[in-house]
Amino acid sequence: SQTIHQWPATLVQPVGSPLSLECTVEGTSNPNLYWYRQAAGRGLQLLFYSVGIGQISSEVPQNLSASRPQDRQFILSSKKLLLSDSGFYLCAWSEQPGTEAFFGQGTRLTVV
């Protein structure tokens, strides 16, 4: 069966520090991969999605970037965090277009 791993679960980082959140999927190949951000009590905002290795589509201009160095690995990064980067970050995968996405357990990032 397929599983998705996202870590760390919580993270507190100072303003101006770098960020690297990692997400890996097991049990499938060539998945679509997604990064979402959710502010407290708000909806989910799509940040990046990827349909293959090295293929990244960005949805909103921001202080973040994403990379897909391997088929089942999706990384969310920042060179210098801002206070506004705080939130709940969720990684997800789907098997193919037009199918449901399955989510990781999320990373709660607090920038102080």
Of 106, 67, 65, residue with least CA distance to 88: 106
Closer CB to other proteins, 59 or 70, in the complex: 59
Could you tell me how far CA 57 lies from the centroid of its own chain?
12
Site string for other proteins, 61-90 (x = CB under 8 A): -----------------------------x
Of 63, 33, 61, 36, residue with least CA distance to 49: 33
Contact residues: other proteins, CB under 8 A: 6, 32, 34, 36, 38-39, 41-46, 49, 51, 57, 59, 90, 92, 94, 97-106, 108
